[in-house]
Amino acid sequence: MTPGQYPATRLRRTRQAPFIRSMVRETALTPANLIQPLFVAEGGLAGPVGSMPGVQRLTLEQLVAECRELVKLGVPAVALFPVTPQEKKSDDGAEALNADSLMVRSIKAVKDAVPEIGVIADVALDPYTSHGHDGVLNAQGYVDNEATCEILRRQALLYSRSGADIVAPSDMMDGRVNHIRQVLERDHRHNTLIMAYAAKYASAFYGPFREAVGSQANLGKGGKETYQMDPANTDEALREVALDLQEGADIVMVKPGLPYLDIIRRVKDEFAVPVAAYQVSGEYAMLKAAAQNGWLDERKAMLEALLCFRRAGADMILSYYSKQAAIWLAE
């Protein structure tokens, strides 16, 4: 038997007791790594999301109260997603540029009441378009990249002026980060961060989210494959990330999460920049359903899933479990 092999080397020695397991643990998960996505709505649109047990569409008052609780738990940021009434949706998503929109009022309300929490504002048109796409359509029904970027540029500036700390273009239009960075610089908003949804895949795991914001019915049986990435591709993700960084992104995101841990790892290894991962609505719904049926220990499975994001290279994780995770991590 050669030196260094069994029994001289027994890897189980460092697993034998909690004290040594904690000392050799390579990856840590803390509330500081978590971002809580929050849905905000008005009137009859507020209330529970059927396909996401435990998730609510919050009123403005509830939103502020929730942010206060999250700060106490050590969760440093929230990502806001508005629920737009059907009558305010249009082909061109004009409500996205309304200076008194629910999104604008939500940003202001949170920053006024809980200034210490980071506010991430989603920049995209799908909550506002009557067809459910992330951009405006041309005569052929194809999402017009340039026309959409012009609206996104103005939307991001509006949200930054309203107090958003981070604007997060989630649309996957080519060049939109450059458009946004340029307009922010011209407006002397040098410190507004851009969290680019850089590698966002055309995934089947978004269904519950679309129900939550009310875009699924508008989209119908249509898909977003002409602008979101093919789940079969990995090299393309690196090209997308490289372009967004060149255009001025501060943070790049991979979405969805657990099915794409390999993409997170490749992005972190290649670029060594802040990387976000999104544990999307379908992932949350699957864990919840399995837990409710007694098939999984929800606490253990959820914390393991979040830890896996960190191990893969994610610096920050958007998860609907963030608040609950922070509670459990404190125990």
State the maximum Cα–Cα separation within the chain, in Å, rounded to a whole number.
76
Question: What is the C-alpha to C-alpha distance for residues 281 and 285, in angstroms, rounded to an integer?
Answer: 6
CB atoms within 10 A of CB 288: 21
- Characterize the bridge pairing of strands 316-319 and 34-40: parallel
Q: What is the DSSP string of 235-263?
A: HHHHHHHHHHHHHT-SEEEEESSGGGHHH
- Characterize the bridge pairing of strands 316-319 and 77-82: unpaired
3-state SS, residue 44 = helix
3-state SS, residue 233 = coil
- Characterize the bridge pairing of strands 77-82 and 34-40: parallel
**240 annotated to a ligand binding site:** yes
Element of type H or E holding 199: strand 193-200
HSE-CB at 148 with a 13 A cutoff on CA atoms is 27
Q: What share of the chain is helix, strand, coil (3-state, %, to 5)?
A: 45, 15, 35
The CA distances from residue 123 to 93, 143, 177, 274, 295, in Å, are: 12, 16, 11, 19, 37
Question: What is the C-alpha to C-alpha distance for residues 112 and 135, in angstroms, rounded to an integer?
Answer: 31
Among the listed residues 89, 111, 200, 224, the single catalytic one is 200
Axis-axis angle for helices 176-186, 145-162 (nearest 10): 40
Per-residue DSSP letter, 90: B
Question: What is the C-alpha to C-alpha distance for residues 77 and 315, in angstroms, rounded to an integer?
Answer: 13
Is position 200 annotated as part of the catalytic site? Answer: yes
Is position 323 annotated as part of the catalytic site? Answer: no
Among the listed residues 89, 111, 224, 255, the single catalytic one is 255
The annotation places the binding site at 240
User: What residues are labeled active site?
Assistant: 200, 255
The annotation places the binding site for Mg(2+) at 240
